[in-house]
Structure 1
């Protein structure tokens, strides 16, 4: 672990390799698991605001789940998260054939909304845990992402480079520039 501004960062995001491989996993992270995507308080308000614009992109099951539960829910741990369809798929998931995609991101890609998706989804496989004085930035392992780890290793793309856009979105350009410097030095020493 090392400190970077008000973050404590795991070296694993420098050491591990990762590139999403949708053809292999089919977007399983959007449909597997036992909770929705983590959300910040600010993101719950964004979801409430953009839902009418995103709704036409969603499946009927997702719309039903959102209209029954709300655009966001509090999980068992008391944290904010996206609602699920029957305790499984994220309510915002859509499918292209068998591949799970984000309905919010599809609306974003078409210029309908200006918010790509929850930062937790954009950052994956990095998970952020907020504490009062700092944020912990950690690599999250999930067996469904084995194809992404293999592809990342083959292409030699460290986790932090794969999620560059999301890290900048979360912490800013200056923070990411510092992370790159640390990453380059760290990897030279390996």
Structure 2
């Protein structure tokens, strides 16, 4: 672990390799699990505002879940998340003809209907950010359904921090990412 500003960063985001392999996993991260995707407080209003333009991209099941639960939910612990369809997949999930999970929000973004790509937690994956009172912990989340992504990342020699560069810059800014690259450079130099 090392500190960058008000973040504590796991060295796993540097040392582990990762490149999503949708052909192998079929987007299972949007389907599996017991909770929706984490949503940040500032994303709540965005989800409400963009929903009318995202709705045409969603499945009927997702539309119904959002009609019943809202564009986001608050858990008993006060966490904000995307709603689920019958306790299973994210309400915003869509599926291609080949059965690969996609994101209706990102589909609307790619079609130019909205300027919000998707919740930053989804964009960051496999990086997970945990907020504490004085800092944020930036960790790599290992999940067996992503084993193929780890294999592909290793083959292509793409560490997690490079795979998630756009999302890390979105979350923490260009300066933070530049400092991260400096830490990586120093670590590589020290290892020689």
Q: How would you bin the TM-score normalised by the shorter chain?
A: over 0.9
TM-score (norm 1): 0.98
- The superposition leaves residues 44-67 of structure 1 with CA deviations (integer Å, 9 ceiling, x where unpaired) of 111011000000000000000000
Runs of 5+ consecutive residues of structure 2 not aligned to the other structure: none
Q: CA RMSD in A?
A: 0.9
Distance in 1 of aligned mates of 2:185 and 2:23:
30
Distance in 2 of aligned mates of 1:34 and 1:172:
30
The answer to whether structure 1 residue 38 and structure 2 residue 38 are counterparts is: yes
Distance in 1 of aligned mates of 2:68 and 2:189:
52
Q: Which residue is equivalent to 2:179?
A: 178
- Report the alpha carbon displacement of residue 132 of structure 1 after superposing the two structures with TM: 1.6
Poorly superposed stretches of 4+, deviation over 4 Å: none
Q: What secondary structure is seen at the aligned counterpart in 2 of 1:127?
A: strand
Q: Which residue is equivalent to 1:94?
A: 94
Distance in 1 of aligned mates of 2:153 and 2:77:
32
- Report the alpha carbon displacement of residue 173 of structure 1 after superposing the two structures with TM: 0.4
TM-score (norm 2): 0.97
Q: What secondary structure is seen at the aligned counterpart in 1 of 2:37?
A: coil
Is contact 1:14-1:187 (8 Å) kept?
A: no
Distance in 1 of aligned mates of 2:76 and 2:166:
30
User: How many residues in Structure 1 have an aligned counterpart in Structure 2?
Assistant: 190
Equivalences for 1:115-134 in 2 at 5 Å? 115-134=116-135
